[in-house]
Amino acid sequence: MKRIMILAGGGGHTGYARILAEQLRGKAELHFMVPEDDRLSYNLLEPFGEVATLIKPRHPTTPTWRYALRFPKAFHQSLRQIKGENNFVVSTGSNFCIAPAVIAWLKGVPVINIESADRMTRSSQTSRILQPISTVTALHWEEQKKFLKGRVFGPFLPTKEMEPWDGGYILIAGGTYGYKELLDVTSKTDLRDVVLQTGRVDPTEYQRKHPEWKVFSTTDHYKELIAGANTVVAPPGATPLEAVAYGKPLVIVRYPMWSKAGTIEDARLFANKLNAPFLSKITTKNLDLAIIKAKGRRRPELQNGAALLAEYLILNSS
C-alpha cells in the first residue's frame, strides 16, 4: 500500500489534513506530523493513522527571536522523523510544514504543498518557500495561479458524516487562537440560541454572562455542531468550507490582528467565492444584519479539491 505523510500545522491546516485523510482512508498507509503542543490536531488525525509530533517554530504571536531558535530545532527533529520510504509528503501550508518538507525533499521524497483557500491576492510565505521544491502546489481557485505556479484542484470540502439539520442555534467560531473582538461583540447582542467556540480565549467570562449558551474552547465534535447550526459565523479558513459542505448559511469575519495571514481584500474575495456576507468591522448591528442576509443567500456548489488531490496522489505514487 502507498505510504503518504501529511504535515498538519494546526487550525485550518489540520482541517485540510483531515479532509484529505478522509479521501485517502483505505487507499494508502497514512502518517501524520502535528505540533507537539496541539492535542486537538493529534486527536483529530489519530483515527486515520500514526501521528508524530514536532515543534512548531512560529505561532501568530511568537516573537522573531524565539522563532529563530525554534526553526533549527524543527529541522533537527524532522531529520530523525521523516522517512525516505514515503511516496509523498503533503504540506498543508503552515510554517510548521517547512522544515519536514525540506527534509523530505532532501531525502528524495516528492513534496506536495497546499496553498490556503483564503489566499486570493498574494501567496503565503510557506508556499513561496516550498514552491521550488514542490512537485505540485495544490491550489483551490483559478485566481491563485496569478501568484503561484500550481495546479487547481478546488476547495477542500469535508465528507459529510451526518445529515444536516436545524438545531435552532447560531455557531460563532473564534478559530484556533480565539477572536476576542468577535466574542465580545457577540456577547453584547440579543442573540439567544448561540454556540460559542472561543479557541485559546478563556471561555469563563462568556459562560458566566450567558449560562443559556453552549460555550467551549475546543471540541472533537465540531462537525456535529456545524451540521446542526442554522447559521455559521467564522473567520476565513476551514470552518467556512465545512459550513458550505453542510449547506449552512455563512457569515465571514476577518481577524484584524492577523494581518500577516491575509489582507482584508483576501478575506472579502474568499467570502465572495462562498457567496457569504463579509464583515471587516464587527458591531452588534452589522453582525445581526449579516446573519439575516446569510439566510437569504444561495449556497454555492463547489468541486471537492480534496477528492481530486487524493486521486492524484494514488495514481502518481511510485
Give the span between the Cα atoms of 218 and 136, in whole angstroms.
33
Domain 2-157+304-315 fold: Rossmann fold (3.40.50)
Check: CB of residue 157 under 8 Å from CB of residue 304: yes
Percent of residues, the chain, with pLDDT higher than 70? 97
Q: What is the pLDDT of residue 70?
A: 87
54 C-beta neighbours (distance < 10 Å), count: 23
Give pLDDT, residue 258: 55
Cell of 126: 510557506
- Assess whether the region 2-157+304-315 and the region 169-295 belong to the same CATH fold: yes
Q: Where are the domains of the chain?
A: 2-157+304-315, 169-295
Mean pLDDT rounded to a whole number for the chain: 92
Architecture of domain 169-295: 3-Layer(aba) Sandwich (3.40)
d(Cα 26, Cα 118) in Å, to the nearest integer?
30
pLDDT of residue 284: 94
Per-residue pLDDT at 59: 73
Q: Alpha carbon 310 to chain centroid distance?
A: 17
- The residues, ordered by sequence, that sit 6+ positions from 225 with a Cβ below 8 Å of its Cβ are 171, 195, 197, 219
> Cell for 113?
504543498
Summarised one tens digit per residue, pLDDT across range 233-244 is 999 888 999 999
The DSSP symbol for 296 reads T
Contact indicator for 17, 94 with CB cutoff of 8 Å: no
Residue spans of alpha helices (H) in the chain: 11-24, 39-45, 64-81, 98-106, 125-130, 180-188, 204-209, 222-228, 238-245, 264-273, 284-295, 305-315
pLDDT digits (tens, 9 = 90+) for 177-228: 788 999 999 999 999 999 999 988 999 999 999 999 999 998 878 899 999 9
Q: What is the pTM of this model?
A: 0.89
* Distance of alpha carbon 59 from alpha carbon 61, whole angstroms: 5
pLDDT at 176 over 90: no
* pLDDT bucket at 65, cuts 50 / 70 / 90: confident
| Adjacent-strand bridge partners of 152 | 139
The neighbouring-strand residues paired with 259 are none
143: pLDDT confidence band, cut at 50, 70 and 90? Answer: very high
Which grid coordinates are listed for 33?
Answer: 506530523
**Is the pLDDT score of 256 beyond 70?**
no
317 with 307: CB under 8 angstroms?
no
pLDDT > 90? residue 289: yes
CB distance 200 to 177 below 8 Å: yes
Asked if residue 107 has pLDDT above 90, the reply is yes
| Nearest Cα to Cα of residue 33 among 85, 119, 94 | 94
CA–CA separation, 272 vs 278, rounded Å?
Answer: 8
DSSP state of 44: H
90: helix, strand or coil? strand
In the structure grid, which three cell numbers stand for residue 315, read together? 495514481
Note the residue count of the chain. Answer: 318
